Amino acid sequence: MKPIIDVVISGWGSYIPIYRIPVEEIARIWGSSSDHFKKDLLIDEKSVAGLDEDVATISVEAAKNALSRAKINPKEIGAIFVGTETKPYAVKPTGTIVAEAIGASEKLLAADFEFACKAGTECLQCCIGLVGSNMIKYGMAIGADVAEGAPSDPLEYSAGSGGTAIIVASKNQEKEPAALLEGSVSFVTDTPDFWRRPKKDYPNHAEAFTGEPAYFRHVISATKLLMEELSLRTSDFKYVVFHQPNGKFPIRAARILGFKKEQIEPGLIVPYIGNLYSGSSLTGFSAILDIAKPGDRILLVSYGSGAGSDAFSFIVKDGILAKQNRAPKVMDYIKRKKIIDYALYCKFRGKI
């Protein structure tokens, strides 16, 4: 898919909470070995949202960072979409809370999206459509989550908190385009690999089924479809960012598709902060934008259970260099950390 008007990235920004819990600490409580998580899944620590944080607060800081980079008047934003599976309210949009906090206009589209971990990139697709059809001037897409796994479940070791906001504009509007969208593809099927019913605190998952028929099928299909449509080969990309439920899946998907280690490693943030769910692939993408140079081509492929993948190809433009230092980078947030124990983790995440 490609919009009629060329769409560029005007700003990007992320936020990761300061707290971390090491997988060893979680393993200590349940008498498990942390080896599987550290060595096989490549997760050392995960980020933990503090007592006063939720998807709204994460989204607001990410949005403010994106605005600092874009240097636009928030009143010119025409859409603010928040993709998450941990909405602060089941009914009441997070988008409007973010809009008021950043001083956006009342003339605005604002809704929350759900598609498990790909809700954030779904928001991005919609912003691209609205900007690319000239309906709005700027669109802000946010992917953020404070997801948790059930106590002692494997997902407890990897479910982390954080998020990223991307602002898109039409190429003609943006004075310092950071990256140009070459095209995107969405690939979805009804595949119930991971889900949560309304009154439950924690999700369920189908264990091994979440691999080949779920993650790999959709990530690989979407990537192949995109490369076909745009007539691109794996060697055309400088960076590749996949959704990161752990370190193992994206590395394996990359290998299956024929990408090299150097392409996938720079955007691999899951070892430090865990799986940010709707924030995962977008935050990996943000980490790449923090370091990319004009001319680099970036592949971004999300995955959301239920299931589907959004794949995008971006070419980095000259405007990126001036923007990179205008806001804290993903690595700045990753380096800023306080280790907590399981007791504080339970208190912060409302498990007690």
Which of 45, 61, 85, 148 is flagged as catalytic?
85
- When asked if residue 76 is in the footprint of other proteins (CB under 8 A), the reply is no
Among residues 99 and 222, whose Cβ is nearest to other proteins? Answer: 99
Task: Among 97, 131, 185, 282, indicate the residue that binds other proteins (CB under 8 A).
Answer: 97
Catalytic residue status for 243? yes
Per-residue x/- track, 327-346, other proteins (CB under 8 A): -x---xx--x-x--------
User: For residues 273 and 334, is the Cβ–Cβ distance under 8 A?
Assistant: yes
Give the containing element (helix H, strand E) for 70: helix 55-70
Q: Of 3-11, 35-43, 44-52, 135-143, which part binds other proteins (CB under 8 A)?
A: 44-52
- Looking at residue 48, its amino acid is V
Among residues 57 and 305, whose Cβ is nearest to other proteins? Answer: 57
- When asked if residue 60 is in the footprint of other proteins (CB under 8 A), the reply is yes
Helix, strand or coil, per DSSP, at residue 302: coil
Using CB under 8 A, which residues numbered 4 to 23 contact other proteins?
A: 18
Q: Of 49-57, 171-179, 188-196, 259-267, which part binds other proteins (CB under 8 A)?
A: 49-57
Fill in the DSSP letter of residue 149.
P
Q: Cα 320 from chain centroid?
A: 19
- When asked if residue 142 is in the footprint of other proteins (CB under 8 A), the reply is no
Task: Among 4, 31, 52, 190, indicate the residue that binds other proteins (CB under 8 A).
Answer: 52
Using CB under 8 A, which residues numbered 101 to 130 contact other proteins?
A: 101, 103
How buried is residue 274: exposed, middle or buried, by Cβ count under 10 Å (0-12/13-18/19+)? buried
**Residue 42 CB: number of other CB atoms within 10 A?**
17
- When asked if residue 44 is in the footprint of other proteins (CB under 8 A), the reply is no
- When asked if residue 100 is in the footprint of other proteins (CB under 8 A), the reply is yes
Backbone angles phi, psi at 73, to 5 degrees: -75, 120
User: For residues 61 and 71, is the Cβ–Cβ distance under 8 A?
Assistant: no
- If phi > 0 it is left, if psi is from -120 to 50 it is alpha, else beta; for residue 59 that is alpha
Strand 338-339 with 19-22, pairing = parallel
- When asked if residue 258 is in the footprint of other proteins (CB under 8 A), the reply is no
**Residue 307 CB: number of other CB atoms within 10 A?**
25
Distance of closest approach, residue 59 Cβ to other proteins, in angstroms: 9
Distance of closest approach, residue 13 Cβ to other proteins, in angstroms: 11
Among residues 212 and 341, whose Cβ is nearest to other proteins? Answer: 341
Catalytic residue status for 265? no
Fill in the DSSP letter of residue 277.
G
Pairwise CA distance, residues 229 & 299, whole Å: 14
User: For residues 263 and 238, is the Cβ–Cβ distance under 8 A?
Assistant: yes
- The number of residues in the chain equals 352
Which of 25, 45, 61, 117 is flagged as catalytic?
117
Residues that contact other proteins, how many (by CB under 8 A): 23
Residues in the site for other proteins, rule: CB under 8 A?
18, 50-54, 56-57, 60-61, 64, 88-89, 97, 100-101, 103, 328, 332-333, 336, 338, 347
- Active-site positions read 85, 117, 243
